[in-house]
Amino acid sequence: MSTFSAPKGTYDLLPPDSATFLAVREAISAPLKRSGYGYVETPGFEQVELFSRGVGESTDIVTKEMYTLTTKGGDQLALRPEGTASVLRAALQANLHKAGVLPVKLWYSGSYYRYERPQAGRYRHFSQVGAEAIGAEDPALDAELIILAVDAYTSLGLSNFRLLLNSLGDKVCRPVYRAALQDFLRALDLDEETRRRIEINPLRVLDDKREAVQKQLAGAPLIADHLCEACKAYHEQVRELLTAAGVRYEDDPKLVRGLDYYTRTTFEFVHDGLGSQSAVGGGGRYDGLSEMIGGPALPSVGWALGVDRTVLALKAEGIELELPPATQVFAVPLGEEARRVLFATVTELRRAGIAADFAFGGKGLKNAMKSANRSGARFAVIAGERDLTEGVVQLKNLESGEQIPVALDTVVAELQAKLA
Ligand code: HAM
């Protein structure tokens, strides 16, 4: 035990669980990689203003949850609380939107930081895999992204998740709805802070989790009834494309999400086995974000799926992923000469694509065999002085216990054949 432990709200990823984590990242990114999305990586921190302008001055993320710092040079930076603003910033900076055909399709995977109250499924450091399609207004693009997320969850074997879908309108119909909602909310019995929120960001009030507030919201005007013709038609096309792809969704007219950049399509994936932190992923269209951060008009859409919560969802459904074995062959040398020979064999096995490990630290036979069994390997290659003088090694099947001598110079080929 060290004097130190991981900071509050964080945890370490360690073997064997870390292998599941990697596999989840891989499973989420696989459908993106075969759909034209290129990998993007941005710094872990950005100028504070990118997020306050992009994510929104009045959001919890910006007002309460950002890890901000002033550098020795006087720059105001924030650890990234999300990926969309950074990815769009990077695309604009590199002029990707001018270089080729639109949309620019990008995917990313990394760590994000929010100073939230930690609880099960809610961490201060967490992982997302995300995707952004920048510079096109096309319902098929919204549908594509949603389908790819569904395919990712399904490929992991998950079934207990639901897709909540809404449209938040655009700059034509949203202001009209906003005003109607404000009129309704102002007449309610609400506390000071919520009253302030009505004036800055009334849609967020719909997301208030308190029962007393939710009760009063029963008759609130809904965006669905205020969408302009263009937004209505757009949303209908997204829904049709999803239905045609066999994707089930639930219309959720109160879904607003915690980031301010959304327009039109917004969605969230919730998993029913996770308790209060049930959102395993979310996203939507953000047609105005580029202009908000100083770029040209670039209608865009994207999502981010939470890797930590997806791993929790697997546990909740009792799913164990079939992962490639960490070690297939374990070498056990008995004596100095065998150590030298088997170390070379292990190197050769690895170069031949076989996962191999070695009894390091000069262990005796008993301890070395314990390590071999613990490694999960299917075969042990054992050799002592007598074997080597005969030009053989002992090949032991660790599942059946059967052991046979094999010529040293054919053991790699033999193992390749047995493991194929
Ligand atoms: P978000 O809904 O804030 O969206 O985060 C996406 C997912 O990240 C959540 O559904 C959740 O699974 C995971 N997540 C968020 N906060 C935490 C936390 N404190 N602990 C564990 N997991 C967490 C975004 O971040 C947007 N950038 C998504 C997007 C991309 N919209 C358009 N493009």
Would the CA dihedral through 105, 109, 113, 116 be positive or negative?
positive
**Ligand 1 within 6 A of CB of 302:** yes
393 and 251 share one domain: no
> What percent of the chain has a predicted confidence (pLDDT) above 70?
100
| Ligand 1 atom nearest to 124, measured from its CA | 19
**Ligand 1 within 6 A of CB of 283:** yes
User: Looking at the predicted structure, is the pLDDT value of residue 57 above 90?
Assistant: no
pLDDT mean across residues, the chain:
96
The answer to whether the beta carbons of residues 156 and 322 sit under 8 Å apart is no
pLDDT recorded at residue 207: 85
**Residue 406 identity:** V
In this prediction, residues 213-228 reach a mean pLDDT of: 94
360 and 265 share one domain: no
CB under 8 Å, gap of 24 or more: what pairs does 394-403 form? 398/330, 398/372, 398/373
112 and 252 share one domain: yes
pLDDT recorded at residue 208: 87
CB under 8 Å, gap of 24 or more: what pairs does 242-249 form? 242/143, 242/146, 242/147, 242/165, 245/143, 245/147, 247/146, 247/147, 247/150, 247/163, 248/162, 248/163, 249/146, 249/163, 249/164, 249/165
Q: Can you tell me the distance from the alpha carbon of 152 to that of 158, in angstroms, rounded to the nearest whole number?
A: 9
Nearest to 331 by CA among 320, 347, 342: 342
User: Looking at the predicted structure, is the pLDDT value of residue 306 above 90?
Assistant: yes
CB under 8 Å, gap of 24 or more: what pairs does 58-66 form? 58/197, 58/200, 58/201, 58/204, 58/260, 59/201, 59/204, 59/258, 59/259, 59/260, 60/258, 61/114, 61/258, 61/259, 64/115, 65/114, 65/115, 65/116, 66/114, 66/115
**Ligand 1 within 6 A of CB of 260:** no
Which residue ranges are tagged as binding site for L-histidine?
Answer: 82-84, 114, 128, 132, 257, 261-262
Flag whether 249 is in a domain. Answer: yes
Flag whether 215 is in a domain. Answer: no
User: How many domains does the chain divide into?
Assistant: 2
What does the DSSP 8-state code read for residue 186?
Answer: H
pLDDT recorded at residue 59: 87
In this prediction, residues 120-145 reach a mean pLDDT of: 98
54 and 148 share one domain: yes
User: Looking at the predicted structure, is the pLDDT value of residue 58 above 90?
Assistant: no
β-bridge pairing 76-79 and 263-271: unpaired
User: Looking at the predicted structure, is the pLDDT value of residue 125 above 90?
Assistant: yes
Ligand 1 mean position to 329 CA, how many Å? 40
**Ligand 1 within 6 A of CB of 126:** yes
In this prediction, residues 331-338 reach a mean pLDDT of: 96
Res. 396 pLDDT band, cuts 50 70 90 = very high
Res. 185 pLDDT band, cuts 50 70 90 = very high
296 and 335 share one domain: no
pLDDT digits (tens, 9 = 90+) for 229-279: 999 999 999 999 999 999 999 999 989 888 999 999 999 999 999 999 999
Flag whether 379 is in a domain. Answer: yes
Ligand 1 mean position to 280 CA, how many Å? 8
In this prediction, residues 56-84 reach a mean pLDDT of: 95
**Ligand 1 within 6 A of CB of 56:** no
pLDDT digits (tens, 9 = 90+) for 38-52: 999 999 999 999 999
Ligand 1 mean position to 279 CA, how many Å? 8
pLDDT recorded at residue 1: 80
In this prediction, residues 355-361 reach a mean pLDDT of: 97
pLDDT digits (tens, 9 = 90+) for 377-394: 999 999 999 999 999 999
Flag whether 203 is in a domain. Answer: no
| Comparison of pLDDT for 346 and 201, the residue scoring more | 346
Q: Give me the DSSP letters along 24-40.
A: HHHHHHHHHHTTTPEE-
In this prediction, residues 128-139 reach a mean pLDDT of: 98
Res. 349 pLDDT band, cuts 50 70 90 = very high
**Residue 187 identity:** A
**Residue 378 belongs to domain spanning:** 329-419
45 and 167 share one domain: yes
In this prediction, residues 112-131 reach a mean pLDDT of: 97
pLDDT recorded at residue 100: 80
Ligand 1 mean position to 226 CA, how many Å? 27
Ligand 1 mean position to 309 CA, how many Å? 10
284 and 404 share one domain: no
Q: Is the peptide bond before 81 cis (omega within 30 degrees of 0)?
A: no
β-bridge pairing 403-407 and 392-397: antiparallel
Q: Can you tell me the distance from the alpha carbon of 67 to that of 125, in angstroms, rounded to the nearest whole number?
A: 11
Flag whether 129 is in a domain. Answer: yes
We report the CATH number of the domain holding residue 101 as: 3.30.930.10
Tokens 């989840």 belong to 24
310 and 360 share one domain: no
Q: Can you tell me the distance from the alpha carbon of 104 to that of 348, in angstroms, rounded to the nearest whole number?
A: 43
278 and 409 share one domain: no
pLDDT recorded at residue 363: 84
397 and 365 share one domain: yes
79 and 167 share one domain: yes
350 and 259 share one domain: no
Which mutation among 59, 126, 298 tests ligand 1's pocket best, with the greatest number of atoms within 8 A of CB?
126
